Amino acid sequence: MEPSSEAVPPQAGTCRYPGCGSPARPRGGQSGARPRYCGNAVTEDRDGIPVTVVHDAMTAFRRRRELDGDTSSTGETRPVTAAITRAGAIRDDAVAAAGQLAAQLDIHAAAGHVRSDGHRAERPSPGDNL
């Protein structure tokens, strides 16, 4: 019958980011709501990947969702993983295309096909007709 201490509300003035015990930012002025997050950029270990997180309402919301369960977090991390994979593939394509372009330019330059006035490249120069 004891009250559940699953989620103990942090003390007032303490950052509410999960697992953070830093004091929240001081209030900017005499009025207005007191900040509930410290605003520190903290590097966390996420599956072996260091991730820098600035403690604010949005990052705390995301972190709580991640901690709540894998069912919601998998739906959230998959698009990011897919986007990273896609970005890597696009980058590889761009690098390959740049390499091919450089190779083609070298071939054309060696064959004399690339000139400042490309239209005359395959025509005899006017001096030949005289």
Residues in contact with Zn ion by the rule CB under 5 A: 15, 17, 20, 22, 38, 55
What are the start-end ranges of the E strands in 47-112? 49-54
Nearer to Zn ion among residue 22 and residue 77 (C-beta): 22
10 CB neighbour count, 10 Å cutoff: 15
- For residue 77, the minimal CB distance to Zn ion (Å) is 22
31 three-state secondary structure: coil
- For residue 97, the minimal CB distance to Zn ion (Å) is 44
Helix 57-68 and helix 70-111: axis angle, to 10°?
A: 110
- The residue whose two tokens read 């705390």 is 60
- For residue 56, the minimal CB distance to Zn ion (Å) is 9
Nearer to Zn ion among residue 17 and residue 63 (C-beta): 17
Nearer to Zn ion among residue 15 and residue 35 (C-beta): 15
